[in-house]
Chain A
Amino acid sequence: MAEHRLPDALTAELGRLGARRAAAACFAPVEPTMQLVAEARQRAGMLGLHPALMVVAGQPVILDESSCTQPDPFRHKRHMELEVLQPSYANSPALVALNLDQGGPAAALSPGKDGQAVEVLFWDGSSAVPQDQVLQVCQGRLFIPMAAGEHGVVAIHSWGEAGAWGNHVVVCHLQRDARLDLGVFAHLGHQTTLAILAELEEGAVLNMWSMGRLMGLHRTHAVILLHGAGAQYTWRGAVGVMEQDDSACRLQVRHLAPATRSMVRVRTLAAQRGRLAFQGHVAIAQTAGGSEALVKSDGLLLDQGAWLESRPEFFIETDDVQCAHGATVGCLDREALFYLRSRGLGERAARRGLLHAQLQDVRDGMTQTLEPMAQRMTDQLVEAVLNP
């Protein structure tokens, strides 16, 4: 398996940010040994997950044959939106090395059985990494094809040990009138680069929720193509950074057909010296008359050294649209904190209450099967920022 040498600039950047074992000179994918797979299974159990599919060190480990197929479902998608590979967005010192065309195993998933969520675990263990190969890159590649009229629920969990670097791609293809509810949960202890590419045909609906701490140099990059008339996309996110995390989320939504709709609402939290940039970029083509789009981002700075940036952007090529965007960044309301404390709640409990209140609306409209996972992730996120 080929090694990939980190660019000097990135190595320097890692050092500047105090990333663990920043002196790493090289990193390489690791074979999913039996030990790694066993650890992943154990970790899934500890996290309370019941994954149908684990992607361990880049290799799919199928646990539920009825939900997953293999191999190489990407053969139709190799040339889709390769620009996702460009780390062009603001404050993005980190590597984005995704490559759909790179080959290697991948898995396809068949969601949509009785409204139950199919769970996927991207697990990046570092325990099997030799000491001189500090960072590893795991290339988990997952394809979620949705047939016409099909409805499905998928929960993607990413988890890895400190020092591991997940580098994952999820591609969704929703045919006419298909609907996918997709939860993306970043469990603590892991830094990852995650690309999500979705293509929606006529009348298709993709509802996405993402939650968790975006650890280390996390990058999320989503590209959503609303190709068919009446296609709809929503994204609600509650994501946070702390310690010396320096993370970014970039979302591109492209309205390419008439009467398409997109709605993006993101809640961001930054504690300690955490840094997080969010960019919501919506492009509405000439062919997308009658479309509607909303991008709203609300950020909470919890410490003086924390940093948030939010950039909603619209590129509109037709007149007949309804678009709105907004971004706020602020601190916890001191008067609200005092109110809760005057009712006996300690400062910590009051802060917890306000944080949960801030994140409450992220779960609006959420599929029932994702709700407990989202609740757990919200609890984890709040406790993490309260317990730096």
Chain B
Amino acid sequence: MDALLSIKDLKVANGGRQVLDGFSLTVGAGQIHVLMGPNGSGKTTLASVLAGREGYEVNGGSVTFNGADLLVLLPEERARKGLFLGFQHPVEIPGLANATFLREAYNTLHEGEDELDAADFLAMARRLLQEVELSDAFLSRGLNQGFSGGEKKRNEMLQLLLFKPRLAILDEIDSGLDVDGLRLIAKLIVRRRNEGASFLIISHNPQLLRYVAPDAIHVLYGGRLVVSGGADIAETIAERGYEWLGNAHDQERQGAVALAGSVGNG
């Protein structure tokens, strides 16, 4: 399967600290990859760098997305190429109506296609709102303004359904969701995957992983991808935490042991 996203030996510093130190990963079209790791291991940094957030210093490696050098593109260019970041903490923008934002973003991302008029757009948005189980009232409210944590995540999923990106990076999309919300979001992820979309999901939640049945689970530790494998990795981490990986990682860096599973995948 051709690689949609190819990250090779990526090195990223932030505030003088080397956060990613030789990270490699390949995601194929229609695949779901899950990225786990302890707090501060670099997961959100990776998501931010891929989406083009300012403030990070890329000091090594390369990222190719759909054949293009991703790192030279502006955030909006990455989005127009089909990359979507589901925010861990979606921003509230009072005064910017959700519907206005969604329509402008939709028309920008579908530039070159026939622009939807307001009525057609509204009909489509209302249909998708039902799918994420939000009421129509969320269209007229300010973008994420006063939304609960779960409602913000559903609004991110609404955008995912609306914009239809090739690759969605979902940064802790499960946080703030109740069990029903989690199941709903997993269902939508799987549906989009079946339509050909790819996912890189950052999550600590074994329940979500069970629902979405990922193609691979990776563990990021100390800025590097230390373990890749199947569902058993998540189960092991649920039982043992990340500490054992830390010990193994330190030894691996000293060339002493090979870690369980396949080391890296890139």
Give A residues with C-beta under 8 Å from B: 333-336, 338-347, 349-350, 353-354, 356-361
**What residues of A have a CB within 8 angstroms of the CB of B108 in the complex?**
343-346, 349
Name the prevailing secondary structure of the A interface residues: helix
Instruction: Say whether A342 contacts B80, CB under 8 Å.
Output: no
Q: In B87-136, which residues have CB < 8 Å from any A CB?
A: 87, 90-91, 93-96, 101, 104-105, 108-109
Shortest beta-carbon distance from B99 to chain A in Å: 13
Shortest beta-carbon distance from B44 to chain A in Å: 13
Q: B210 at interface (Cβ–Cβ under 8 A)?
A: no
A361–B93 CA distance with the chains assembled, in angstroms: 12
Chain B interface, number of residues (Cβ within 8 angstroms): 27
Instruction: Say whether B54 contacts A344, CB under 8 Å.
Output: no
Instruction: Say whether A341 contacts B79, CB under 8 Å.
Output: yes
Evaluate whether A344 and B142 lie within 8 angstroms (CB atoms) in the complex, with A335-B91, A336-B93, A357-B93 already known: no
Instruction: Say whether B76 contacts A345, CB under 8 Å.
Output: yes
**What residues of B have a CB within 8 angstroms of the CB of A340 in the complex?**
93, 101, 105
Q: In B48-74, which residues have CB < 8 Å from any A CB?
A: 51-54, 74
Closest CB pairs A-B (n = 7):
A357-B95, A360-B95, A357-B96, A343-B105, A341-B75, A344-B108, A344-B79
Shortest beta-carbon distance from B162 to chain A in Å: 10
Q: B139 at interface (Cβ–Cβ under 8 A)?
A: no
Instruction: Say whether A357 contacts B94, CB under 8 Å.
Output: yes
Give B residues with C-beta under 8 Å from A: 51-54, 74-76, 78-80, 84-85, 87, 90-91, 93-96, 101, 104-105, 108-109, 142, 159, 163
Shortest beta-carbon distance from A126 to chain B in Å: 37
**What residues of B have a CB within 8 angstroms of the CB of A345 in the complex?**
76, 104-105, 108
Residue from B51, B95, B105, B159 within 8 A of A359 (CB atoms): B95
Instruction: Say whether A342 contacts B95, CB under 8 Å.
Output: no
**What residues of B have a CB within 8 angstroms of the CB of A356 in the complex?**
95-96
Evaluate whether A346 and B96 lie within 8 angstroms (CB atoms) in the complex, with A333-B91, A339-B90, A353-B104 already known: no
Closest to B107 in A: A344
Evaluate whether A342 and B85 lie within 8 angstroms (CB atoms) in the complex, with A335-B91, A353-B104 already known: yes
Shortest beta-carbon distance from A194 to chain B in Å: 27
A361–B145 CA distance with the chains assembled, in angstroms: 14
Closest to B109 in A: A344
A342–B52 CA distance with the chains assembled, in angstroms: 8
**What residues of B have a CB within 8 angstroms of the CB of A358 in the complex?**
95
Closest to A336 in B: B91
Q: A344-B80, A356-B95, A360-B94 are in contact. List 7 more A-B contacts (CB 8 A).
A: A333-B91, A340-B105, A342-B51, A342-B53, A343-B109, A349-B108, A357-B95
**What residues of A have a CB within 8 angstroms of the CB of B94 in the complex?**
357, 360-361
Shortest beta-carbon distance from A379 to chain B in Å: 14
**What residues of B have a CB within 8 angstroms of the CB of A349 in the complex?**
104, 108
Evaluate whether A354 and B76 lie within 8 angstroms (CB atoms) in the complex, with A342-B52, A343-B109, A349-B108 already known: no
